[in-house]
Amino acid sequence: MTPSTPSNFQKIQTNAGTKTVEEFRTYTQDEGTPARVIEHYRDMRRFQTLEFYERMEKKYSFENGAYRKLMTIEEAFVELENYIDASDPDLDLPNLLHLLQTAEGIRKANHPDWLQLTGLLHDMGKIMFLWGSGEDGQDGYSPNGKQWALGGDTFVVGCRIPDEAVVFPEFNELNPDMHDERYNTTHGIYELNCGLDALKFAWGHDEYMYRMLVANDAKLPREALDMIRYHSAYPWHDKGAYEHLMKDGDFERMKWVQLFNKFDLYTKDGDNELRGDKMQELWPYYKGLIEKYGLGGKLKW
């Protein structure tokens, strides 16, 4: 199951109504960014530390057969039906609709079915809100719930947060690790060229869903797992941070994540027709892909 290189893929068209590409992902404190988004990133920068990552890693472990609930993909979608991402400045949509928009955008561009399925699955790690709390940044029930450990741009914990590569860099000084000499250097706890997989990105739905798929022996290629694990790591794949920690092969892996993020971002559309009966019509197709790639039946979450 060896995919062709990203450079061979056709360009995509945005499906964002009247929005231009430049109008996506606008993060400022004085130009219309919703207050909930500003608060989200302030909390994320304040609380996403190395210690927090390790605590969440233990809480959501799949080691020795551990899991929190057995559910099918379809049952998990039902749980996510009313979840709306508090960190997204572009659109307020039920998460399932965004996942279908992403998957259908990839499908319409004639990309492989494993990539279509990746679009459908990529944000499902937000299911952590079922076991989280506001204190842990995983409250998905209340309208203004704290979600700073569910979504948002992720940065590497255990080393300096790069001012030049993150949104709201003015919040970096709020992070306790940035005042600890063990963690506030460009290398921090990491070795030079240690490689992408050695890095601990701020805990969120990406890392959890990657681990969930591995624990359930998903038959997806590594490119798909990378897209799921690293699609929120904008400082890395969009701004070029952490190159000193990457191995040679990581640069090719970055291209796949960049390809995926074009669909993740630019298929957002508040007037999209994928609602009601249309969503039900699409389900048999995607259910077939779920089964093809080893994710049918009850899964460990």
Per DSSP, helices labelled H in 184-270 are 205-215, 222-230, 234-237, 248-266
CA 92 to chain centroid, in Å, comes to 16
Residues 6+ apart with CB under 8 A from 11: none
Residue 238 counted as an annotated binding residue: no
If we measure between CA atoms, which residue out of 227, 174, 233 comes closest to residue 202? 233
Q: Is 25 annotated as a binding residue?
A: yes
Cα–Cα dist 165/31, whole Å: 19
CA atoms within 13 A on the CB side of 187: 6
- Has 85 been labeled as part of a binding site? yes
Contact 197, 223 (CB under 8 A): no
| 122 appears as a binding residue in the annotation | yes
To the question of whether residue 231 is assigned a binding role by annotation, the answer is: yes
Is residue 98 part of an annotated ligand binding site? yes
- 3 three-class SS: coil
- Binding residue per annotation — 86? yes
Residue 217, annotated as binding a ligand: no
Q: Establish whether 180 is an annotated binding residue.
A: no
Asked whether residue 205 is marked as a ligand-binding residue, the answer is: yes
Confirm or deny that 244 is annotated as ligand binding.
no
Helices then strands, each counted (H, E), the chain: 10, 2
For residues 199 and 217, what is the distance between their CA atoms, to the nearest angstrom? 22
Check whether 163 is labelled as a binding-site residue. no
Is 7 one of the annotated binding-site residues? no
From CA 35, how far away is CA 258, in angstroms rounded? Answer: 28
- 233 assigned to a ligand binding site: no
- Distance of alpha carbon 72 from alpha carbon 66, whole angstroms: 17
Known binding-site residue numbers for substrate = 25, 85-87, 126, 152-153, 231-232
Bind-site residues for Fe cation: 98, 122-123, 205, 231, 264
Binding residues: 25, 85-87, 98, 122-123, 126, 152-153, 205, 231-232, 264
